[in-house]
């Protein structure tokens, strides 16, 4: 394990700590360089998924990052690197041109398309063995890192087979002994008091040698060969929410901090290793037409990706892949004003948001009877940084009070859809709806085997590529 020193836990954590300055990680290579295996294959694959990342999202996140952090994204730097491959990921499910996350991850991790809602299970009930089983047979390792519940659809597709993605208690059981590192949210699916069978899964995992982390400090203290980190009852909070909450900053690790733990874990063994890192809440924010929440979570994902790219420079036996499972609501910056002269200024307002839509809507709904159009306009100005019209305020107020609002796009006939349209009138962002789209997604890779992820890539071809590269 002498190579461990070249990318030590301390350095990773320091890097993750350098609040918002993850791009400034020193590039100096210390210790022994490890090269790709003689056959040109990687020893480890870091498979990054920004869930529901429409094609426009990484470029918009880059623009926001330049505006508020005075630096671009690691994704953009990767695009400028001639060694990186680029392609398009085909995203269909078995029963629909539009996939959900469980069918998409099943295609990746199981190698076959299934119906939406299923995890590695065919319509006739035949279970498909996930890549976790293939890896376990070869004493290879699997790690799952996410900002959703760890048992959510995207991680689940790599390590479970169930009829319905909602069976998260059973998914937790299927991870046992097969997944060496599990980091994210979802304590409620492991907690004895909330599981239907009353089993204390944390205790079971602990007895099997897993170190169990329940908060950020425990994670940052380091870990061993088996790690289970559950940092939230359900999903890990949105980055935008965490940014404005001291308690969440102290107690919940960022995706980059979880990724740092996974990278350090990957060096504990020479066995072939596959790690999936998911920025899950990009998808949730896209469903909610909440551009600020979406882009801040994309930036958090990019910070984690930056750590992986830095790690791969020091460990050239590493393949890094970044992609998405499907588009979602396809946000885009529109031309605003004469000669589109207002677009740049409009987009600059995204940075002013202090709350996510769900946070604000849930509070405002409770106060809806006390609000009037003037006070609502004042709140929206304070919370989202835009001055909406009286008519717009009246529409939102109606929706908060549960009244039907005229909206010709049926997908937007709800408070978050309406709010997304209204705020979009002032920040230039338009949305195609509030659901997943059929668009292919961006895929890029760098490192040994990267060429396998160039050009047109079917989602159900990914499993075979993993097997080829890790065998």
Token output for 70: 């005075």
Q: Which is nearer to Zn ion, 257 or 283 (CB)?
A: 283
Out of 92, 278, 283, 460, the only residue in the binding site for Zn ion (CB under 5 A) is 283
- Contact stretch for Zn ion (CB under 5 A) within 281-289, 339-347, 421-429, 450-458: 281-289
CA distance 3 to 455: 34
- Contact stretch for Zn ion (CB under 5 A) within 60-68, 154-162, 277-285, 456-464: 277-285
Contact status, residue 277 vs residue 261, Cβ threshold 8 Å: no
What one-character DSSP code corresponds to residue 109?
H
Token output for 225: 């060969």
Q: Which is nearer to Zn ion, 86 or 167 (CB)?
A: 167
Nearest distance in Å: CB 267, Zn ion: 33
Under rule CB under 5 A, which residues in 112-131 are in contact with Zn ion? none
- Contact stretch for Zn ion (CB under 5 A) within 22-30, 117-125, 232-240, 278-286: 278-286
Nearest distance in Å: CB 36, Zn ion: 35
Q: Which is nearer to Zn ion, 283 or 439 (CB)?
A: 283
- Contact stretch for Zn ion (CB under 5 A) within 29-37, 148-156, 279-287, 359-367: 279-287
Q: Which one, of 438, 470, 467, lies nearest residue 55 by Cα?
A: 438
Nearest distance in Å: CB 331, Zn ion: 14
Q: Which is nearer to Zn ion, 51 or 359 (CB)?
A: 51
Q: Which is nearer to Zn ion, 283 or 303 (CB)?
A: 283
- As a whole number of Å, the CA-based R_g of the chain is 22
Nearest distance in Å: CB 181, Zn ion: 24
Q: Which one, of 214, 251, 246, 348, lies nearest residue 291 by Cα?
A: 348
Nearest distance in Å: CB 104, Zn ion: 10
Q: Where are the alpha helices (DSSP H) in 289-431?
A: 291-314, 343-348, 357-366, 373-384, 390-400, 415-427
Q: Which is nearer to Zn ion, 283 or 297 (CB)?
A: 283
Q: Burial letters for 339-349: b for 16+ Cβ neighbours within 10 Å, e otherwise?
A: eeeebeebbbb
Three-state secondary-structure class, residue 416: helix
CA distance 43 to 139: 13
Nearest distance in Å: CB 284, Zn ion: 7
> What are the DSSP calls for 4-63, one per residue?
GGGG-HHHHHHHHHSTT-GGG------S---PPPTTS--SEEEEEEETT--TTHHHHHHH
Contact status, residue 261 vs residue 167, Cβ threshold 8 Å: no
Contact status, residue 69 vs residue 20, Cβ threshold 8 Å: yes
Q: Which is nearer to Zn ion, 272 or 417 (CB)?
A: 417
Helices 291-314 and 415-427 meet at what angle, rounded to 10? 80
Three-state secondary-structure class, residue 425: helix
Nearest distance in Å: CB 88, Zn ion: 20
Q: Which is nearer to Zn ion, 226 or 284 (CB)?
A: 284
Q: Taking CB under 5 A as the rule, which mask of x and - marks residues 233-272 in contact with Zn ion?
A: ----------------------------------------
Nearest distance in Å: CB 97, Zn ion: 15
- Contact stretch for Zn ion (CB under 5 A) within 1-9, 264-272, 275-283, 408-416: 275-283
Q: Which is nearer to Zn ion, 283 or 302 (CB)?
A: 283
Token output for 155: 């991680």
Binding status of residue 302 toward Zn ion by CB under 5 A:
no
Q: Which is nearer to Zn ion, 283 or 290 (CB)?
A: 283
Compute how many residues bind Zn ion; rule: CB under 5 A.
Answer: 1
Nearest distance in Å: CB 51, Zn ion: 7
Summarize as ranges the residues that interact with Zn ion (CB under 5 A): 283
């Amino acid at each position: 394990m002498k190579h461990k020193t070249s990318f030590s836990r301390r350095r990773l954590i320091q890097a993750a700590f350098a609040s918002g300055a993850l791009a400034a990680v020193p590039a100096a290579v210390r210790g022994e360089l490890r090269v790709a295996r003689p056959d040109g294959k990687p020893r480890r694959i870091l498979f990054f998924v920004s869930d529901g990342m429409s094609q426009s999202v990484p470029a918009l996140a880059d623009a926001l990052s330049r505006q508020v952090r005075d630096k671009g994204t690691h994704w953009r730097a990767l695009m400028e690197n001639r060694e990186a491959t680029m392609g398009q990921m085909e995203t269909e499910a078995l029963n629909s041109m539009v996939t959900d996350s469980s069918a998409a991850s099943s295609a990746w991790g199981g190698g076959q398309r299934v119906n939406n809602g299923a995890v590695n299970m065919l319509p006739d009930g035949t279970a498909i063995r996930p890549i976790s089983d293939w890896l376990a047979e070869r004493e290879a390792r699997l790690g799952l890192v996410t900002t959703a519940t760890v048992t959510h659809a995207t991680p689940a597709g790599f390590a479970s087979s169930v009829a319905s993605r909602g069976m998260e208690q059973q998914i937790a059981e299927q991870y046992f002994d097969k997944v060496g590192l599990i980091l994210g949210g979802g304590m409620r699916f492991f907690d004895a008091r909330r599981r239907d069978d009353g089993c204390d899964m944390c205790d079971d995992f602990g007895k099997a040698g897993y170190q169990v982390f329940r908060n950020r400090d425990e994670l940052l203290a380091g870990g061993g060969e088996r790690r289970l980190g559950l940092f939230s009852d359900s999903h890990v909070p949105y980055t935008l929410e965490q940014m404005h909450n001291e308690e969440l900053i102290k107690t919940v690790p960022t995706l980059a901090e979880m990724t740092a733990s996974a990278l350090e874990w990957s060096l504990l063994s020479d066995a072939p290793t596959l790690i999936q890192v998911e920025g899950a809440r990009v998808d949730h924010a896209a469903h909610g037409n909440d551009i600020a929440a979406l882009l801040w979570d994309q930036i958090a994902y990019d910070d984690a990706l930056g750590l992986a790219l830095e790690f791969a420079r020091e460990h050239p036996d590493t393949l890094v892949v970044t992609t998405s499972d499907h588009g979602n609501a396809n946000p885009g910056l529109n031309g605003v004003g004469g000669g589109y002269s207002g677009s740049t200024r409009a987009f600059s307002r995204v940075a002013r948001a202090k709350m996510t839509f769900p946070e604000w809507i849930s509070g405002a709904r409770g106060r809806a009877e006390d609000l009037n159009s003037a006070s609502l306009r004042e709140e929206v100005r304070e919370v989202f940084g835009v001055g909406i019209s009286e008519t717009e305020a009246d529409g939102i107020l109606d929706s908060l009070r549960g009244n039907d609002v005229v909206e010709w796009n049926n997908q937007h006939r709800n408070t978050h859809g309406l709010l997304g349209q209204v705020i979009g009138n002032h920040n230039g962002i338009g949305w195609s709806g509030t659901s997943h789209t059929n668009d292919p997604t961006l895929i890029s890779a760098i490192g040994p085997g990267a060429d396998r992820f160039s050009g047109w890539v079917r989602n159900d071809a990914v499993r075979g590529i993993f097997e080829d590269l890790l065998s």
